[in-house]
Structure 1
């Protein structure tokens, strides 16, 4: 199963790299496949690569669904 997660870009780095926040964890990813990504944008991250941009409202809704799933798994 493949899973791509929404993440917000917190810092742009050299060589088509960026730092994103994923559930409170900072991770360095490649933005080579989404060169239009800017600081503060939400991107879809799959295996360490941003594979596209995501609207902020859609990103927040998706993250809320993941949080709800995690709550159900904990019980």
Structure 2
């Protein structure tokens, strides 16, 4: 499992920007329904070639992060 810390505070705007970046950079990508937890945590799940990518704006742990079954760095190297 690969984990990427995006921001050290829960920020829904940064979460949305990160989701858009993933949607633009990775193809083909299957987007699932956005989950909105009772504490305000947002979770967006994707599937890419049978592997899960999960973007979270976690209000409990106060951070934005990505957990992925594949290495995402090659999609964002320039």
Q: Which has the higher contact order (CA 8 A, sep 6+)?
A: 2
If the length of structure 2 is used for normalisation, what is the TM-score? 0.28
**Considering only CA atoms, is the larger Rg found in Structure 1 or Structure 2?**
1
